[in-house]
Amino acid sequence: MKESRKDKKSWFYRWFLNNQVSVFLINILVVFLIILLFSKVSFVFRPVGQILGITLPPVILALILYYLINPLINVLDRRFHVNRILSITVVFILIAALIVWGIISLIPLVQSQIESLIKNWPSYWDSLKNGIQNLFSDPKLHVFRERLMSADDNISKGFENWIDQIVPQTFSNIGSAISIVTNVVMILLTAPFILFFMLKDDKKFKDYIVKFAPDRIRKSTSEMLTEISRSLSSYITGQLTVAFWVAVMFFIGYLIIGQRYALVLGITAGILNLIPYVGSALALLPSLVIAAFIAPSMVLKVIIVFLVEQTIETRVVSPIIVGNKMQMHPVTTILVLLVSAGMYGLVGMIAGIPIFAILKIICTRVFRWFKRNSNWYDDEQKEEAEQKKKQATPEPLAQKSDDSQ
């Protein structure tokens, strides 16, 4: 009797309690049950979302500026032994001077070009549409011409409906517009204070966060935070620097060929370049429409400027500034862009890659921890250890039979 009970117990233990697949499935079930429970009590976390919505924008803006300014502050602190608070103050004064200069000199010029572009854009679009219709004037291409006209009608009607909906909402929701302006002003006023203390207490933030981790994982948590910080720093500084030079190159190129609205088109190209792979191509479309209105030769000149810019960017600027610090395959980058754009639009396309990089670092470290503490990878670890041992030990010298003879 005792042996039979023991066999039954061992059977249950072997198939359920000590079975890795069963335990893994049970853990997945528990995770989904927790997610279901949180979805039922989501109203409890609504205030947390509101608090994050208020505090995150200035923190994100301060974080971006932190990664741009902190390398300069570190150089002044370590190499030239300049007081950190003094160097931060001087940098802030220089940034304020640049902002004032931009408001006085650049913004009026950009504003005038934007107003002129908005005023003339319907004529540009009609000219492009008529040119394409003339191109498809051949009776054999009447199907394409009809599809083009129907697409243009749909775009025009959609734009008119959008205007009809937006204008009344804008005038009826003056309170919400004032609220948006107030939030923007508060972000711009709050971010510099957050940035100042982030630069001042550069090394204390990580130590303060690490203190909340258990003792046995403090070292790995510190390493993970350092890796995330380096990845974000390389991406933010690299992308913004490349975007700046892209804007400069397009602006100079458009000035050389005599393209209209060179400054606005260059700034637009720099901003859209923050979207990897497709940003510069998107920035090319309005320039081609304007060039088509001017002359066919201007379209060719714009394409030449685009090709020259892309060559310089891909062969010189991006490899020097960005390189491959994110360590992401192009296919992975494109998939991340598609998913993030489909879920969150333009903001998702810009923020999708750094968020994916952070999640990749966290998941990689969690997998390494699981691999070290799980029995699933014992054989693989033993094989790796044996291979390393074989590589470390020198091979025995072969016996020289000819000499012995």
Angle between helices 218-257 and 262-272 (to 10 degrees): 160
Other CB atoms closer than 10 Å to residue 263's CB: what's the count?
A: 18
Q: Counting every residue, how long is the chain?
A: 405
Identify whether the C-beta of residue 72 lies closer than 8 Å to the C-beta of residue 226: no
Q: Greater confidence, 219 or 329?
A: 219
Higher-pLDDT residue of 32 and 402 is: 32
Structure tokens at 126: 């009609």
Q: What is the mean pLDDT of residues 117-132?
A: 74
State the pLDDT confidence band at 331, using cuts at 50, 70 and 90.
confident
Q: Is the pLDDT of residue 253 over 80?
A: yes
Question: In whole angstroms, what is the distance from residue 251 CA to residue 257 CA?
Answer: 10
Q: Are 310 and 280 in contact (CB under 8 A)?
A: yes
pLDDT number for residue 257:
94
With cut-offs at 50, 70 and 90, classify the pLDDT of residue 49.
confident
Measured between alpha carbons, how far is 360 from 347 in angstroms, rounded to an integer?
Answer: 20
Q: Average the pLDDT over 349-377 and give the result.
A: 84
276 CB-contact burial (10 Å; exposed 0-12 / middle 13-18 / buried 19+) = buried
Q: What is the mean pLDDT of residues 28-48?
A: 85
Q: Which of 260, 281, 283 is nearest to 271 (CA)?
A: 283
- Looking at every residue in the chain, the average pLDDT score rounds to 79
pLDDT band at 95 (very low <50, low <70, confident <90, very high): very high
Q: How many CA atoms lie within 13 A of 126 on its CB side?
A: 5
Report residue 107's pLDDT band, with 50, 70 and 90 as the boundaries.
confident
Q: Residues 136-142: what's their mean pLDDT?
A: 60
Q: What type of residue is 304?
A: I
| Residue 283: per-residue pLDDT | 85
In this structure, of 23-32, 185-194, 377-386, the range with the lowest mean pLDDT score is 377-386
DSSP conformational letter for 394: P
Q: In which band, very low, low, confident or very high, does the pLDDT at 353 lie, cut at 50, 70 and 90?
A: confident
Question: What integer pLDDT is reported at residue 38 of this predicted model?
Answer: 83
| pLDDT for position 265 | 93
The answer to whether 288 and 319 are in contact (CB under 8 A) is: no
Average pLDDT over residues 339-361: 86
Return the pLDDT at 96.
92
Asked whether residue 244 carries a pLDDT value surpassing 60, the answer given is: yes
Token pair in block for residue 340: 């993030």
pLDDT at 401 exceeding the cut of 90: no
- With a cut of 50, say whether residue 400 has pLDDT above it: no
- How many C-beta atoms surround the C-beta of residue 66 within 10 A? 23
Between CA 211 and CA 206 the distance in angstroms is 9
pLDDT digits (tens, 9 = 90+) for 282-322: 888 889 888 887 777 898 999 999 999 999 988 888 877 76
**Pair of tokens at residue 257:** 């060929």
Question: Is residue 205 over pLDDT 70?
Answer: yes
* Average pLDDT value for residue range 15-24: 71
Asked if the model's pLDDT at residue 387 lies above 80, the reply is no
AA letter at 145: R
CA–CA separation, 152 and 312 (whole Å)? 36
State the sign of the Cα–Cα–Cα–Cα dihedral 294, 299, 303, 305.
negative
Res 6 pLDDT > 60? no
Q: Please give the average per-residue pLDDT across 245-267, as a whole number.
A: 93
Give the pLDDT of residue 79: 87
Per the model's pLDDT, the better-predicted residue between 92 and 150 turns out to be: 92
* pTM, to two decimals: 0.74
Q: Which of 253-267, 308-322, 328-342 has the highest mean pLDDT?
A: 253-267
Q: Which residue has the tokens 């041992």?
A: 389
Average of per-residue pLDDT across 374-388: 62
pLDDT of residue 305: 94
Average pLDDT of span 162-167: 52
Confidence of residue 333 (pLDDT cuts 50, 70, 90): confident
What are the domain boundaries of the chain? 45-120+174-212
Average of per-residue pLDDT across 198-208: 85
Query: How large is the average pLDDT for residues 89-95?
Result: 93
